[in-house]
Amino acid sequence: MHRRDFLLRLAAAGALLALPGCGHLGKEEPAVFPSAVPELMAARLRLAHDVAWTKFHSGAPIHDPEREAELLASLVARAEARRLDPAWVETFFTAQIAASREVQKELHAAWRADAASRPSTPPIDLRANIRPRLDRVTDVLLESMPAGPNRDLEHVTAGALRREGFSPAVVDLAVAPLRGGKRSSRRIL
């Protein structure tokens, strides 16, 4: 294992353990796959629950194209500074944003259909509390993500996300860029 890879994994584990509710690294994760990417993607999607509850409670729309465009532009700029392929970074994170939106849509639908399924806790402040946690996971994911599509990583990540209980639609959106192919990142939006 290269020193840089080791340090990235160590940083990813530390960042995840610092996040409330994300201290269970490796939950049924195959120990033989040397990547923090599946757990980071799952952590990002778990945070979508808090985002969904806050937006449900406030009536804010799930889709925030302005915020998403700002985030993608920032990630692409950082990718270029790190000499990563900006198109790949945009494709990868566009898919993560789409998967997060899908989690939120599914939760909103469930909460509208069954009031008893709604969280009993008050919503968390999106700007002050949730976004900083989301940004930390996203930062580590940017550092840890593969250089391009990776079918092995796709299969491991899909399995990890399914074990977390995410729907097939969420899993498919999240792992689509790892599958590769000609799918445009713009179509995911």
Domain boundaries, position 73: 3-188
Q: What CATH number has the domain bearing residue 154?
A: 1.20.59.10
Where do we find the tokens 């599509």? 149
* Nearest residue to 156 (alpha-carbon basis) of 138, 132, 174, 182: 174
Q: Which of 1-10, 58-67, 119-128 has the lowest mean pLDDT?
A: 1-10
* Per-residue tokens: 106: 């599914």
Q: What's the CA gap between 169 and 81, in Å, rounded?
A: 33
Q: Kindly report, residue by residue over 102-118, the tens digit of the pLDDT.
A: 999 999 999 999 999 99
Which residues touch 73 (CB under 8 Å, ≥6 apart)? none
59 pLDDT band, cuts 50/70/90, is very high
Percent of the chain with pLDDT over 70: 77
What digits encode the pLDDT tens for the residues 71-109?
A: 999 999 999 988 899 999 999 999 999 999 999 999 999
Give the pLDDT of residue 106. 98
* pLDDT beyond 70 at 2: no
Task: Note the pLDDT of residue 50.
Answer: 97
Q: Is the pLDDT of residue 43 over 60?
A: yes
**Domain total in the chain:** 1
pLDDT at residue 13 tops 90: no
Q: What is the pLDDT of residue 82?
A: 87
Residue 181's pLDDT band, with cuts at 50, 70 and 90, is low
Tell me the C-alpha distance between 170 and 179, whole Å: 14
Q: What is the pLDDT of residue 54?
A: 97
Who's near 7: CB < 8 A, 6+ residues apart? none
pLDDT digits (tens, 9 = 90+) for 119-159: 999 999 999 999 999 999 999 999 999 999 999 999 999 99
